[in-house]
């Protein structure tokens, strides 16, 4: 098995790949004004947990955040590294990040993914485990924000990944710079920075970082996608084009969300914890996308931030819309919630109770 490598730019010439990135970016330093602008949306945060794996992106985030903190009344910063236990070097890498954080006077915690590891969808489940560990730790230490080092290349890759899987407008908008999860803000301040700029910044600072070989392992979907990206870029679907697509999708998504919320506000619904009730006759003539978003938003209030499968949501929305138009009753479940439409077009949504064996609610 190929092992990870530590690139020490302080004591030896960086690999050719890093030099090539540096030339391509034309940027190795960030001014004080640029750094302040990167973190400006989070100036009033009380405490921020930085997710640092040791790669060039997250190391750059840690260095930039430390510079932002210096000489100003910025939020308290701490660092966490998730040890997935999937490679023999992972523990040593977490310890190395701890030393780097300590040199910056930042407290560090290693978070270990315990238990047996799944045999399928490993990357997806490891990512979910990573977020769970980070947000649980943030809650323990009172941090209101978890900050990751996702950058412009990640954003373009995410847009392409979702495009290939037939995502809707919301998915094509890519990753948000700020979102909420279990009451804690997930912040991504580096979405306007390229990977080349971040690697060059580490080089300019003479700071080492870790190169993870799994990033190029073709058994992982993301690694295969990076290879495909090179071919697509030759046909014009490069990072710039994908980011432009993501921006336009985000713009449309924001407009649709405003319209959906305005429609929902006019319903005069009864909303309380674990329950929605309203006559939704006013939705009969709304476009399908608005109806879909209304349903998704109300379900989020009932079931929390857990994502819904778009195809399942679309199927339920279609059945509900048909019943609404024909004046029929309708009942189904979705994501742990029961949806019941009465003949008078009153919709009730509430959490699904424990299912009894042998009984199943059908649309």
The pLDDT, as a whole number, for residue 25 is 44
> Is 308 found in the same domain as 218?
no
- Residue 342 within a domain: yes
Smallest Cα–Cα separation from 8: which of 202, 244, 235, 145? 202
Residues 180 and 299 in one domain: no
Q: How many domains does the chain have?
A: 2
Q: Based on the fold, state whether residues 143 and 80 are members of the same structural domain.
A: yes
DSSP annotation of 106:
-
Do the domain assignments include residue 56? yes
**Of the candidates 109, 49, 37, the residue with the CA atom closest to the CA atom of residue 75:** 49
Contact 58, 52 (CB under 8 A): yes
Shared domain for 242 and 296, answered yes or no, is no
Listed ranges 73-87, 280-294, 296-310; the one with the highest mean pLDDT = 280-294
| Same-domain pairing of 66 and 193 | yes
- Say if residue 12 is in the same domain as residue 130: yes
Residue 339 in domain: yes
Has residue 202 got a pLDDT over 50? yes
308 and 169 in a common domain: no
Tell me how far apart the alpha carbons of residues 363 and 355 are, in angstroms, rounded to a whole number. 16
Pairing of strands 270-272, 47-51: unpaired
304 with 221, same domain: the answer is no
pLDDT tens for 307-345 read 788 999 999 999 999 999 999 999 999 989 999 999 999
Do both 43 and 158 map to the same domain? yes
Give CA–CA dist 25/139, Å, rounded. Answer: 37
- Res 70: pLDDT: 86
* Residue ending a domain, choose from 193, 218, 246: 246
The parent domain of residue 328 ranges over 266-351
For the domain that residue 63 is a member of, what is the CATH number? 3.40.50.620
Q: What's the distance, CA 69 to chain centroid?
A: 25
Same domain, 270 and 217: no
Domain assignment present for 360? no
Q: How confident is the model at residue 1 (pLDDT cuts 50, 70, 90)?
A: very low
Q: What are 232-257's pLDDT values in tens digits?
A: 888 899 999 999 999 999 999 999 99
363 assigned to some structural domain: no
Beta bridge partners of 184: 181
Q: What is the pLDDT of residues 103-118, one digit of tens each?
A: 999 999 999 998 887 7
Within a domain: 359: no
Considering only residues 251 and 9, tell me which one the structure prediction assigns the higher pLDDT.
251
Three-state secondary structure of 183-236: CEEEECCCCCCCHHHHHHHHHHHCCCEEECHHHHCCCCHHHHHHHHHHHHHHCC
Indicate whether 178 pLDDT > 90: yes
Instruction: Please answer whether residues 210 and 4 qualify as being in contact, where contact means their C-beta atoms are separated by less than 8 angstroms.
Output: yes
pLDDT band at 230 (very low <50, low <70, confident <90, very high): confident
What angle (nearest 5°) sits at the alpha carbon of residue 64, between those of residues 60 and 69? 150
- Last-in-domain residue among 246, 279, 309: 246
Q: Is residue 251 part of a domain?
A: no
| Judgement on whether residues 105 and 219 belong to the same structural domain of the protein | yes
Coil, helix or strand for 250?
A: helix
Is 260 part of a structural domain of the chain? no
170: its two tokens = 């919301």
What pLDDT score was predicted for residue 358? 52
Handedness of CA 67, 149, 254, 286 (dihedral sign): negative
Across the chain, what does the average pLDDT equal? 87
Q: What is the pLDDT of residues 249-298, one digit of tens each?
A: 999 999 999 999 999 999 999 999 899 999 999 999 999 999 999 999 99
Tokens of 72: 């100003």
Alpha-helix residue ranges (DSSP H) falling in the chain: 16-25, 32-39, 56-69, 90-103, 122-141, 152-164, 169-172, 195-205, 221-234, 239-265, 288-303, 310-326
Contact of 338 with 287, CB cutoff 8 Å:
no
How far CA 321 is from CA of 235, 281, 287, 316, 344, in Å, comes to 41, 10, 10, 8, 14
Do 240 and 271 lie in one domain? The reply is no
- Of 217, 246, 275, the last residue of a domain is 246
Whether the per-residue pLDDT at 9 is higher than 60: the answer is: no
Residue 18, pLDDT > 50, answer no
């Amino acid at each position: 098995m190929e092992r990870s490598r530590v690139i020490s730019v302080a004591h030896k010439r960086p690999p050719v790949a890093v030099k090539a990135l540096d030339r391509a970016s034309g940027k190795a330093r960030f001014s004080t004004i640029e750094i302040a602008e990167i973190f400006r949306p989070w100036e009033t945060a009380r405490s921020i947990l930085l997710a640092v794996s040791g790669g060039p992106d997250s190391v750059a985030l840690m260095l930039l955040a430390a510079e932002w903190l210096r000489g100003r009344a910025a939020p308290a910063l701490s660092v966490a590294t998730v040890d997935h236990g999937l490679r023999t070097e992972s523990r040593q890498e977490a310890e190395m990040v701890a030393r780097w954080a300590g040199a910056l006077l930042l407290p560090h915690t290693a978070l270990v993914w315990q238990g047996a590891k799944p045999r399928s969808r490993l990357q997806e489940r490891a990512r979910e485990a990573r977020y769970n560990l980070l947000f649980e730790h943030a809650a323990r230490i009172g941090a209101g924000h978890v900050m990751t080092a996702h950058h412009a290349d990640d954003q373009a890759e995410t847009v392409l990944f979702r495009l290939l899987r037939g995502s809707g407008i919301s998915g094509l908008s890519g990753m948000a710079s700020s979102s909420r999860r279990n009451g804690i803000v997930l912040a991504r301040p580096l979405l306007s920075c390229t990977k080349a700029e971040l690697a060059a910044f580490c080089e300019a600072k003479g700071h080492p970082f870790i190169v993870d070989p799994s990033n190029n392992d073709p058994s992982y979907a993301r690694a295969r996608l990076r290879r495909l990206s090179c071919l697509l870029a030759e046909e014009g679907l490069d990072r710039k084009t994908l980011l432009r697509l993501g921006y336009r999708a985000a713009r449309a998504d924001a407009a649709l969300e405003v319209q959906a919320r305005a429609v929902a506000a006019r319903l005069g619904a009864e909303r309380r914890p674990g329950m929605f009730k309203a006559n939704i006759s006013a939705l009969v003539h709304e476009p399908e996308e608005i109806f879909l978003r209304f349903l998704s938003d109300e379900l989020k209030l009932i079931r929390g931030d857990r994502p819904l499968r778009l195809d399942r949501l679309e199927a339920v929305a279609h059945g509900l819309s048909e019943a609404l138009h024909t004046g029929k009753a309708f009942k189904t479940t979705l994501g742990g919630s029961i949806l019941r439409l009465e003949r008078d077009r009153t919709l009730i949504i509430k959490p699904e109770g424990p299912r009894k064996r042998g009984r199943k609610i059908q649309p």
